[in-house]
Structure 1
Amino acid sequence: MSSRDLSNVEISALNNGLTFSPTTNMDWFQLELDLFDFFRKIKFKVLFADKNLEARPEKHTEITLREVRLHKKSLNQPYISEPAIDAFINIVKQRIRILRESENGRFVGPPNLTRDEMVAIDGLSRDVSLTIKPADKGGALVVMDTSPYLAELTRQLADPNVYELLALDPKFRIKNTIDELLSEAYHAGIIDRDLLEFMTVRHPVVPVLYCLPKIHKSMVHPPGRSIISGCGSIFSPIAIFLDKILRNFAINAKSYIQDTTDFLTKLDEVQLEGDCILVSFDVCSLYTSINHTRGLRTVSEALQQSNYTHECINLLMCLLEIVLTENYFLYGDYFYAQKRGTAMGSNVAPTYVNMFMVALEECAIYVSPHFTSVLRW
């Protein structure tokens, strides 16, 4: 899609994808660190496998870090007694040791890129006239001119109903609000100290905006799906926490589908009778279309049916309101606030929009007299 024709070497290099890692001189120290982290994640997966939250009939008087199955950053290796995992780890360590001892510790094997491809990658990374992004759907890699890419972002930001230009970075104002709220919740016994520390971001980064080109809609001037990257931001741990709490409300919905495999399994269970038609619906710009007031009311009504106390629900709603109404990002040299909807890229966003759609289904779909003709929804 770029105005510049790519060479065969550049195309060959890009065909490997954005996550491809060229082989270079082996950094054995970094490899040890990566293996340590890899083994640790495996052990934690085993440690917490099939350990669902225990349902408590009494009211929740305190939300703990352990209860919501979150953990603070740590370098501790969990102890597990699992022979299969131990055997796998020992085999990997043995193979790495053999690799390191051979050829005096140099990387053994041919490089996975040619010299020309390495030069091509370096040139593409330095070319500011090109923007390379994954496609919104389909897994393709899109190479486009930077000018139309930025123009699409500018076009979306020009919508005054969704975005608002800010005079300055609101990061520290938002941080103070969150810190005060969490401190009050801790001293009131609503959350424990571990959860307080988990949701406290001492050095937050600023969220940034980018978009994924929707080439399935147009190959000439594709619209973009806006993504706000909030990793490490003031909202990140709060959104993760809220997602853990609210996720069960979404996955227990009648129409919930976990993934493609789950969808195919459920289709296989449908017994077709007579003339049946497969119909699909799509909500246009769902993430940026949900009114804050209606969305918050939907979540609040769901929480009222849970075992959480009024104080816990109030904390959850205050945190969610901050994530929604204070959502901001950096684009170029300017800060913007998102006035409506939720940020695609936030951990809690999929759960939030699913809860909203569940409520919509309950009040508009399932009560319809025509729903009796639906075999599977």
Structure 2
Amino acid sequence: MTESNISIHAAILRQHGRDVLKILRKAENITTKIARWTNHRIFNIRCAKVDITPRSIKLKSAVTGIKANKVIHKAEKQLLDIRIRNCSFTISKLQDELQNLETNLFTAISDQEKQEVEQHLSRMRSQEFDKVKCKQREKFGKLVTAKQEFLLKNRAEENDIDRNRWVINKSDRILSENEKSVLEKGLNYAVTPREIPMKEYIVNTEVACRQLAPAKAQSLRADVVKCLRKSKVPPCNIKKGEQKALFDLKKDENITILPADKGRATVVLNTSDYEDKMESLLNDQTTYQKLAKDPTPAYKRELIGIIREWQHSDPIPQDIKHKIYPTTEEVPKVYGTPKIHKPEAPLRPIVSSIGSLSYNAAKVLANILSPLVGKTDHHIHNSGEFVEKVKNLEVPPGQKLISYDVSALFTSIPVPDAIQAVRDKLEKDATLKDRTPLKIKHILELLTFCLNTTYFVYKGQYYKQTHGAAMGSPSLP
């Protein structure tokens, strides 16, 4: 404590007593707090401007990957915004408290003492502000250095990445740089729309309102209308050259663009080559059978019959009934993903059942059955876990480590045996009642229906898979 502090405290104590001195000390305490919180707010604003996350709000997650990192980064930015608002609120609250203390203090002392106290508090605020400012600057500098090192490391890693593996061109078309650039983004990359899809939002809102009470439905409509009125088309997230490249690629009927079966690469094939490979797959009469007409109406009646039978004999909850009740006649579609890691890049058939009559039922089953997967000692979740398990494995001399691959795994699954295996697992599952109110017989009957409705359409021709399960069904966890 400086000599001036001692003298002003002694003077206040001598002239006005201990109670007034307590008010002064409280005012000093709040003054230093305001200085610290002001610095804290400035520090966080600087972090937000240069997109740096302070260590105290860094988030960690066991989930990894690009999408997970984006979610984490977005959450960290939101937390930083909240912290800045909290700083402003705290400073405002402290200033109000200080003002009240100064009012009480200044009514108890003379005008000359008031001027001395104001200078004293201002001096304390400046000293504390400068002291904390040095620490915050040092901390900010370390964060900036850490970010620069991180960016340099990422750039070095990006320079080492072979981008030629991101787009595999097996067609006769010579891709321009803009076409390669837009394809490198991947087939899941969402390009900014040119206009807000108002009709789509309105239709989906009305579908949702059918499940709500009139008052809640009207409130939802009002909220959606308010959001749509305020909505603006975001800036385009691809360059003009990439926009034209995207249009040119879409217009070219001589090529077919597909995701690779493995490796997340984008593959460009001649449409004629793709169709020849698909025809070769579908002409396998041991796996696929051509149908004379669309079987969807018959399957729809079958599923409705199953649900009605349950309602008569052993009712299921209404929410599950609404989920699995078929309200569409969308036909599953088949496409092939090229196996670029194999000679001639053969296709793996994938049946897209999104929107089909059994899709929602398959999703319900997936939520019930997925916890049953991976309960054995020999289950490997992914390649990363496999590497972790074998990295310290030593193969004795004269022995070899061999891996086996099942050819056409899903289409080779015997459906009756699969259903029996599921039955055995469910009967031993003590947690089943915690996951679903459905009984085992309901689950098995629904699973039997989903696994026996493996049909699809390709170029106007309907096919039925004669045995095994279809790749792409949500019921196969």
Q: Does 1:170 align with 2:295?
A: yes
Residue in structure 2 matched with residue 239 of structure 1 by the alignment: 362
Q: Does 1:331 align with 2:454?
A: no
Residue in structure 2 matched with residue 251 of structure 1 by the alignment: 374
CA contact (8 A) 1:186 1:196 kept: no
Amino acid at match of 1:209: V
Displacement of 1:266 after TM fit? 4.4
Q: Does 1:284 align with 2:413?
A: no
TM-score norm. by structure 1 comes to 0.65
Displacement of 1:153 after TM fit? 1.0
Residue in structure 1 matched with residue 474 of structure 2 by the alignment: 347
CA contact (8 A) 1:183 1:196 kept: no
Displacement of 1:227 after TM fit? 0.4
Residue in structure 1 matched with residue 176 of structure 2 by the alignment: 7
How has the CA–CA distance of structure 1 residues 25 and 289 changed in structure 2, closer, same or farther, with 3 Å as cutoff?
closer
How has the CA–CA distance of structure 1 residues 317 and 149 changed in structure 2, closer, same or farther, with 3 Å as cutoff?
same
Q: Does 1:316 align with 2:443?
A: yes
Displacement of 1:123 after TM fit? 1.1
SS of the equivalent of 1:251 reads coil
2:185 corresponds to which of 11, 16, 19: 16
Q: Does 1:123 align with 2:292?
A: no
Residue in structure 2 matched with residue 152 of structure 1 by the alignment: 277
Q: Does 1:179 align with 2:348?
A: no
CA contact (8 A) 2:179 2:245 kept: yes
The structure whose RCO (Cα within 8 Å, separation 6+) is larger is 1
For residues 273 and 217 of structure 1, what CA distance do their matches in structure 2 show?
Answer: 27
TM-score norm. by structure 2 comes to 0.53
Q: Which runs of 5+ in 2 are unaligned?
A: 1-169, 214-226
Displacement of 1:217 after TM fit? 0.2
Q: How does 1:1-377 map to 2 (within 5 A)?
A: 1-23=170-192, 27=196, 107=234, 111-218=236-343, 221-267=344-390, 278-306=401-429, 312-349=439-476, 351=477
SS of the equivalent of 1:226 reads strand
For residues 295 and 139 of structure 1, what CA distance do their matches in structure 2 show?
Answer: 30
Select between 186-195 and 326-335 the one with higher mean Cα deviation: 186-195
Displacement of 1:286 after TM fit? 0.6
Displacement of 1:241 after TM fit? 1.7
How has the CA–CA distance of structure 1 residues 14 and 241 changed in structure 2, closer, same or farther, with 3 Å as cutoff?
same
SS of the equivalent of 2:462 reads strand
Displacement of 1:200 after TM fit? 0.7
Q: Deviations over 1:87-110 (max 9, x none)?
A: xxxxxxxxxx9xx99xxx6756xx
- Larger Cα Rg: Structure 1 or Structure 2? 2
Residue in structure 2 matched with residue 47 of structure 1 by the alignment: none
For residues 184 and 225 of structure 1, what CA distance do their matches in structure 2 show?
Answer: 38
Select between 185-194 and 171-180 the one with higher mean Cα deviation: 185-194
How has the CA–CA distance of structure 1 residues 331 and 107 changed in structure 2, closer, same or farther, with 3 Å as cutoff?
closer
For residues 17 and 283 of structure 1, what CA distance do their matches in structure 2 show?
Answer: 28
SS of the equivalent of 1:345 reads coil
Amino acid at match of 2:332: P
How has the CA–CA distance of structure 1 residues 150 and 106 changed in structure 2, closer, same or farther, with 3 Å as cutoff?
closer
Q: Deviations over 1:240-275 (max 9, x none)?
A: 12222222322322222333454455457x776966
Give percent identity, aligned residues only.
31
CA contact (8 A) 2:257 2:266 kept: yes
Structure with more helix by fraction: 2
Paired residues, number: 283
CA contact (8 A) 1:165 1:337 kept: yes
CA contact (8 A) 2:179 2:242 kept: yes
For residues 185 and 371 of structure 2, what CA distance do their matches in structure 1 show?
Answer: 38
Displacement of 1:25 after TM fit? 5.3
Amino acid at match of 1:300: R
Displacement of 1:23 after TM fit? 4.3
For residues 212 and 181 of structure 2, what CA distance do their matches in structure 1 show?
Answer: 39
Displacement of 1:148 after TM fit? 1.0
Residue in structure 2 matched with residue 365 of structure 1 by the alignment: none
CA contact (8 A) 2:193 2:233 kept: no
Displacement of 1:141 after TM fit? 0.8
Displacement of 1:279 after TM fit? 3.8
Q: Deviations over 1:136-174 (max 9, x none)?
A: 111111111001101111111111111111111111111
For residues 358 and 257 of structure 2, what CA distance do their matches in structure 1 show?
Answer: 27
CA contact (8 A) 1:207 1:330 kept: yes
